[in-house]
Amino acid sequence: MNRNVDVAGPLGLDPALWDVLACPGPDHGAVRPDEETGEIVCSDCGLRFPIRDGIPVMLLDEARPS
């Protein structure tokens, strides 16, 4: 593994990830980082998704409401 830790974007995730991340719900809304809680928030339905071991868990089962 040749990880470049210098390119970390919001919440320590690869900036390129933010271009492809979307809410898994019916709205498929745009998501944004919540630096306070370290979660990913859907700007449409407000569901919050955790990040585990540096990997966004974009699953409805794992989400919690705002």
41 binds Zn ion (CB under 5 A): no
Nearer of residues 26 and 35 to Zn ion, judged by Cβ: 26
Q: How far is the CB of 46 from Zn ion (least distance, A)?
A: 7
34 binds Zn ion (CB under 5 A): no
Question: Which of 18, 22, 27, 32 touches Zn ion (CB under 5 A)?
Answer: 27
Round to whole Å and give the CA distance between 17 and 38.
15
Separation of CA 19 from chain center: 11
Round to whole Å and give the CA distance between 63 and 47.
6
22 binds Zn ion (CB under 5 A): no
Contact, 42 vs 6, CB < 8 A?
no
